[in-house]
Every structure is written in structure tokens, then in C-alpha cells.
Amino acid sequence: MNDREKYILEIKNLPKNLREVVNGLSVEQLDTPYGEGKWTPRQVVHHLADSHMHSYIRMKFVLSENHPTIKPYNQEVWAKFVDANNSSVEVSLSILDGLHERWSNLLSTLKDDDWAKTAFHPESGEITLDWMLKYYQNHGNNHIGQIKKLRDSKGW
């Protein structure tokens, strides 16, 4: 298995892995920040849905347009919206289930030339589809790691 195939598989498996790490957490635990001024597991789950919906659509723009400009969003502001703080995590887990199934299906069909397609991101500069794949595979794993670390530190 090459690196791209590994990253695509990790993207496909993110919803399952995220479900496992939040499984059994109480409402109080879901609303416990993982550090001073940091997000809660609930906010992380909703952030992953927001972020990965953006990424999926961004990748489709890269595939269908000539060097598009990617629109950033303020994730700190989005994490403070009411839906990220009081909605059940199941809502975003369900989004991630379908999204990651479609996303991994799309990614697994791309040709080598597709991975070199580019976009401009106002915060990151010039990016390729290949860079985006690595970034979002790592993004999901990092957030799952934050929740695991919180669980471990609290003995949950």
C-alpha cells in the first residue's frame, strides 16, 4: 500500500475511529475542554464535520476548476456557534459517516495527474491536491489524538 492509499484509508476510517474515542463519554465529559482555553470533545467532533465538509468541497473545486482560490473560515468563531456547543455529537458523526464514504470513494478514483492540481489558499499559499490529502488525513488523526489524550489524563 502506498502513502496515498494509506491516507485515503485513514480518511475513510475517521468516522469509525472518532466514534470509538467519544463512545461512552457523558454530557459532562463531552463538554470538558482538553486544556486551558481549548475546545471540548463536542466542539472537536462538530469542528471535524465543518472542516471536512469544507475540504471535500475544496477538493472538488480543485478538480473541476483551474487553480481556484480556496475560501478560508474562522474555525474559532465556528467552534463558538450554538450548534457546536449544544448539538448531539451524533449529528456530526452521521455527517462524517456519509461524507467520508463519498470523500474516500472520490479520492480512490483519482489519477496521478489529479494529485498535482493546484489551488491558492489565502492562509497557506499555493497548495496541491496531494498536500490537501496529507493535511486532512493528519488533521483528523490529530483531533482524535487530542480526545484520547484528554480521556487518558482524566482516566475515562
CATH number of the domain bearing residue 68? 1.20.120.450
Residue 51: how many other CB atoms lie within 10 Å: 17
104 and 110 Cβ atoms separated by less than 8 Å:
no
CA nearest 150: which of 64, 56, 30, 68? 30
pLDDT recorded at residue 1: 87
Cell of 103: 470523500
End-to-end CA separation in angstroms for the chain: 35
Q: What's the total number of domains in the chain?
A: 1
CA quadruple 12, 89, 57, 79: dihedral positive or negative? Answer: negative
Domain holding 97, by residue range, is 3-154
pLDDT in tens, the chain (156 residues): 899 999 999 999 999 999 999 999 999 999 999 989 999 999 999 999 999 999 999 999 999 999 999 999 999 999 999 999 999 999 999 999 999 999 999 999 999 999 999 999 999 999 999 999 999 999 999 999 999 999 999 999
132 and 142 Cβ atoms separated by less than 8 Å:
no
